[in-house]
């Protein structure tokens, strides 16, 4: 477990470069899989207790933004210490809790469970495709970062506006954009790890987790809008 708490990349050489990169990738996948457990637990707690049911509109937005950015700041500060993993897992629990409101709404459909499983399978499929592409593409993808950031910023602003507007069409457009942008982000983040551009597995896990979370949430929103059966 020591390599999960400390990862010294200052001594990379010709022989250790690939080994170190593989270690970061392996630890990232391990922690990413682990991070899904608190997410599921948080979503279950939220649905079972209804704690997020009343967090609609501005209140839900404020709680989400304050909590998410607060946790991400804490993760950045602790990523090189033993506290990094617990803080990251606490963040994923919070994200599951925030997702529970949408999950509860989808479960209100007759085919709600099927929609959730479809969104999960779709997200897993996107991740598999992006991971395969990242391991085969040889070109440097670092130039994508500024365009992806602009896309993510546009989605965030559009999402905030739509919280108050409440447009179904707007929600669909934002969801489609999010699936495209964060799928591309997934490819970019995986390539960064493989190429050695990201050497901290906690930061790498956080980036991939956010990509996966946004793709899943957007797929679930689209499926709920387009395929929800109220009968």
pLDDT class for 18, splitting at 50, 70, 90? confident
Whole-number Å distance between alpha carbons of 126 and 154: 22
Residues 6+ apart with CB under 8 A from 141: 187, 188, 191, 192
Tokens of 169: 């069409």
Would you state the pLDDT for residue 16? 59
Tokens of 97: 């809790």
Q: Are 179 and 219 in contact (CB under 8 A)?
A: yes
Sorted by where each begins, the domain ranges of the chain are: 2-227
pLDDT tens string 25-61: 999 999 999 999 999 999 999 999 988 877 766 777 8
Would you state the pLDDT for residue 12? 40
More confident residue, 188 or 197: 188
Task: Answer yes or no: is pLDDT of 181 > 70.
Answer: yes
pLDDT class for 1, splitting at 50, 70, 90? very low
Whole-number Å distance between alpha carbons of 203 and 148: 18
Most confident residue range from 37-46, 157-166, 220-229: 37-46
Burial per residue of 157-190, b for 16 or more beta-carbon CB atoms within 10 angstroms, e otherwise: ebbeebbeeeeeeebeebbebbbebbbbbbbbbb
How many residues does this entry show for the chain?
231
Average pLDDT, the chain: 87
* DSSP run (H or E) holding 81: none
Would you state the pLDDT for residue 13? 43
């Amino acid at each position: 477990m020591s390599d999960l708490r400390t990862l010294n990349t200052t001594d990379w050489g010709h022989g250790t470069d690939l080994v170190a990169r593989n270690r970061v990738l392996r630890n990232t996948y391990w922690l990413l899989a682990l991070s899904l457990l608190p997410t599921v637990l948080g979503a279950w707690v939220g649905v079972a207790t209804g704690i997020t049911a009343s967090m609609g509109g501005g209140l839900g937005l404020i709680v989400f933004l304050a909590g998410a950015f607060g946790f991400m700041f804490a993760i950045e500060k602790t990523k090189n210490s033993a506290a990094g993993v617990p803080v990251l897992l606490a963040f994923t629990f919070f994200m599951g809790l925030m997702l529970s409101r949408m999950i509860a709404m989808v479960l209100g459909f007759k085919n709600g469970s099927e929609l959730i499983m479809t969104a999960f399978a779709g997200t897993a499929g996107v991740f598999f495709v992006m991971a395969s592409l990242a391991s085969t593409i040889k070109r440097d993808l670092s130039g994508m970062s500024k365009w992806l950031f602009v896309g993510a910023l546009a989605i965030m602003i559009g999402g905030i506006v739509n919280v108050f507007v409440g447009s179904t069409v707007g929600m669909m457009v934002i969801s489609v954009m999010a699936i495209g942008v964060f799928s591309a982000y997934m490819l970019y983040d995986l390539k960064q790890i493989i190429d050695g551009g990201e050497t901290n597995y906690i930061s790498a896990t956080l980036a991939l987790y956010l990509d996966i979370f946004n793709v899943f949430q957007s797929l679930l929103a689209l499926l709920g809008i387009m395929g929800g059966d109220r009968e």
